[in-house]
Amino acid sequence: MTAIIAQLVISGLLLGGLYALVAFGLSLIYGVVRILNFAHGTLLAIGGIAASIIFAVYKLNPVLIAVVLVLVFLVFGYLMHIYLLDPLKKRNPFEATIGTVLVTVGLLLIISDLAAEIAGPTPKNIPLEFHAYIVGEVIIQRAELYILGGITLFTIALHLFLKKTWFGRAIRAVTQSPLGANICGIRSKQIHAQTVAVGCGIVAIAGVLWSLKFPVDPYGGFDLTVRAFTIIILGGIGNLVGALLAGLFLGLAEVFTSFLWASDWAPAVSIVLLLVILVVFPRGLASVRK
């Protein structure tokens, strides 16, 4: 029994850590630019599928694949902001809100459909064989250790990046007041675009790590966006540590729901959790702490 629970905890942490990575990007973009990117999780799907195809064709090292994909996603995010999202800011608030929703939902539909048409609708992953460690009755694959290590390193790196660098400080200034930051010599529009780019870049990493362990479903992206949104509401918008903890919690909750009840209901955990949190704390949990 303890072995089963240990195994479940490992899966939960793994899944939760990956959710948290997806949530980091969404949190960064929503926290700074105030744009809710409905296509965010779908980016992971297409990243994971691209990684699996690149691996199948060129047999590249997954780290190299990640580097390539991060660059592509950075450019994509930057262009998406400059050409699709930023122009909507000039409209009145009603039109800006609904416009942003339509643009990002449109992207979601396009990306997932293109991915499914090009790569086929069956889920894909990177079929690397890894050595497995056996501790007592618990089996740990080396890939899982890589993923956990990757998530940990990346969280620390991102935290330092946001706290210690000029860009991190500029981001925080722009979050407080885009106009104020502008007056102080920060180009808010550029910072916004770069933030969206970084947010998308993080998803690329999450996509590669994801495909090392789990198959990626081209249509599963929106469920991931819901999870990521639940995580940032639970952990606090713009709060990395909170998002990591919330992600791990959600991963464990889903794994145990599958085990104790039925795997069919696992996706419902995040939706129900999201609705409950939004209803009990309409301004997010972060407002309670303040």
Residues engaged in binding another protein (CB under 8 A):
34, 36, 38, 84, 87-88, 91, 94-103, 105-114, 117, 222-223, 226, 229, 262, 264-265, 267-268, 271-272, 274-275, 278-279, 282, 290
Which residue, chain included where needed, has tokens 């993080």? 202
d(CA 223, CA 220): 6
Closest CA to 24 of 157, 126, 147: 157
Amino acid residing at 153: L
- The nearer residue to another protein, 105 or 128, going by C-beta atoms, is 105
Bridge partners, 124 (sequence order): 216
Identity of residue 244: L
| Whether 250 contacts 270, CB under 8 Å | yes
Q: Give the nearest distance from C-beta 182 to another protein in angstroms.
A: 22
The C-alpha atoms of residue 84 and residue 76 are separated, in whole angstroms, by 11
Nearer to another protein, 41 or 242 (CB): 41
**Nearest distance from residue 59's CB to another protein, in Å?**
30
What is the maximal distance between C-alpha atoms in the chain?
62
Shortest Cβ 264–another protein spacing (Å): 5
Q: CB 96 → another protein: shortest distance, Å?
A: 8
| Closest CA relative to residue 45, chosen from 202, 199, 215 | 215
Considering the complex, what minimum distance in angstroms separates the CB of residue 179 from another protein? 17
Nearer Cβ to another protein, position 117 or 137?
Answer: 117
- 124: which residues sit within 8 A by CB, 6+ positions away? 48, 49, 52, 53, 211, 215, 216
- Encoded amino acid at 143, one letter: A
Q: Strands, E, within the chain: which ranges?
A: 132-135, 138-141
Which H helix or E strand runs over 98? helix 93-119
Smallest gap from Cβ 221 to another protein, in A, equals 10
Among 241, 228, 238, 234, residue whose Cα is nearest residue 172:
238
Q: Which is nearer to another protein, 170 or 203 (CB)?
A: 203
* DSSP single-letter state for residue 90: G
Cβ nearer to another protein, comparing 34 with 159: 34
- Minimum CB separation from another protein for residue 94, in Å? 6
Considering the complex, state which of residue 58 and residue 265 has its C-beta at the smaller distance from another protein: 265
Residue 140 DSSP symbol: E
Min separation Cβ 18 and another protein, Å: 19
